[in-house]
Amino acid sequence: MPDRDAVDAALRRAIAEGELAERTGDVPVGAVVLDADGTVLGTGRNEREATGDPTAHAEVLALRAAARARGEWRLSGCTLAVTLEPCTMCAGAIVLSRVDRLVFGARDAKAGAVGSLWDVVRDPRLNHRPEVVPPDLVSEDVTARCADLLTRFFERRRIR
């Protein structure tokens, strides 16, 4: 288990990415991939609205950037930090990329695939299962920022 300060720092970086997503009308979800020594290999934010690509989720884009930086698809030794619990597509990408650890800041009761609706990343039938650091193991102020980012976004959309 990584130390809480490192987890919080990674999620703060992901929050900054999520804030950028909102500028293009995308749901403000951000992600960052760190190598074993904490160096950022890739970042991503939701870009479905910006690009018209249904697979342009923050996690997928961060994993792609990290694989390019590393020069291979295997991201062993890496940590993916994301502001929102991954969906089934992203959970599958996490397993297939061989990320060692997943950290997420807010649960997703409607589409979460890391324990809320499904638990893709810990399915024993799969060949890889990353360590999961759920919101209850993250500092409260950081998880609150992850949740607030989404809450504010959807509140503004309902007001329009």
State how far the Cα of 101 lies from the Cα of 34, in Å rounded to an integer.
Answer: 10
- At residue 23, does pLDDT exceed 60? yes
Residue 156 has a pLDDT of: 87
Instruction: Give the residue numbers annotated as catalytic, written as ranges.
Output: 59
Q: What is the pLDDT of residues 97-114, one digit of tens each?
A: 999 999 999 999 999 999
The 10 Å CB-count burial string (b at 16+, else e) for 20-50 is ebbeeebbbbbbbbbbeeeeebbbbbbbbee
State how far the Cα of 117 lies from the Cα of 92, in Å rounded to an integer.
Answer: 14
Q: Per DSSP, what are the bridge partners of residue 17?
A: none
Structure tokens of 119? 């638990």
State how far the Cα of 121 lies from the Cα of 102, in Å rounded to an integer.
Answer: 9
The residue to which tokens 């949740």 are assigned = 147
Contact predicate 113/91, CB 8 Å: yes
- At residue 2, does pLDDT exceed 80? no
Q: What is the pLDDT of residues 43-71, one digit of tens each?
A: 999 999 999 999 999 999 999 999 999 99
Q: Per DSSP, what are the bridge partners of residue 102?
A: 80, 132
CATH number given to 4-154 = 3.40.140.10
- Average pLDDT taken over every residue of the chain: 95
State how far the Cα of 55 lies from the Cα of 61, in Å rounded to an integer.
Answer: 9
pLDDT band at 1 (very low <50, low <70, confident <90, very high): low
CA angle 83, 126, 143 (to 5 degrees): 15
Residue 150 has a pLDDT of: 95
Find out whether 78 is annotated in a ligand binding site: no
Find out whether 87 is annotated in a ligand binding site: yes
Find out whether 128 is annotated in a ligand binding site: no
